[in-house]
């Protein structure tokens, strides 16, 4: 996926988010490490009054999700009665997002929505309500634009599929 294609879709997602949150003050929770580039570019296109915080979870080893989610860095902002938008780079099995949703729901937000740049429908193992999705992609391993392979490739401006 080219840099131009990614940036155009981010502008479209931002337009939808701007319309939906025009009169509200949502807190975006970006999932590190992968979503940092997506979060930065999305925020450049948001007009609404928005805030951002970051959490870090780990569930990948080599090419696949381990299914074991560990919350490494937590939230410091109170979420009670806040509109929360979880910002993720990629959702494949959905197991990581399911765990994040459980944690956030326990903090009593007014609403929770998910925005992801990429989604792999073929890999999804849990039911998720993803309101904002940039692209649906095949169940292949991709790198670039924040996504990595063992720490490498995050700095690419485009998204590339690794060879099978």
Domain CATH number, residue 37: 3.40.50.2020
Q: What is the DSSP string of 30-63?
A: EEETTTHHHHHHHHHT--S--EEEEEEEEEEETT
**pTM of the full predicted structure?**
0.88
Q: Which domain holds residue 106?
A: 3-161
Phi, psi angles (nearest 5°) of residue 150: 50, 45
A 10 A CB-CB count for 31 gives 23
Asked if 92 is an active-site residue, the reply is yes
**Tens-digit pLDDT profile for residues 45-85:** 999 889 999 988 755 554 455 556 555 467 788 899 999 99
**Tens-digit pLDDT profile for residues 90-101:** 999 998 899 889
The single residue of 15, 92, 148, 164 carrying the catalytic annotation is 92
Phi, psi angles (nearest 5°) of residue 96: -60, -50
**Tens-digit pLDDT profile for residues 15-43:** 999 999 999 999 999 998 889 999 999 99
Domains contained in the chain, number: 1
């Amino acid at each position: 996926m080219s840099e131009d294609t990614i940036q155009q879709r981010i502008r479209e997602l931002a337009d939808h988010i701007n319309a939906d949150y025009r009169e509200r003050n949502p807190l975006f929770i970006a999932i590190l490490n992968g979503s940092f580039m997506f979060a930065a570019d999305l925020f450049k296109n948001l007009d609404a009054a928005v805030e951002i915080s970051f959490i870090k979870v780990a569930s990948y080893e080599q090419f696949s999700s381990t299914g074991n989610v560990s919350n490494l860095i937590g939230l410091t902002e109170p979420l009670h009665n806040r509109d929360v938008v979880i910002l993720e780079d990629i959702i494949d099995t959905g197991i990581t997002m399911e765990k994040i949703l459980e944690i956030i729901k326990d903090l009593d937000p007014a609403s929770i929505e998910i925005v992801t740049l990429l989604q792999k429908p073929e890999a999804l193992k849990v039911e998720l309500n993803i309101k904002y999705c940039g692209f649906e992609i095949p169940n292949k391993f991709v790198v670039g634009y924040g996504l990595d392979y063992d720490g490498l490739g995050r700095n690419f401006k485009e998204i590339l599929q690794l060879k099978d």
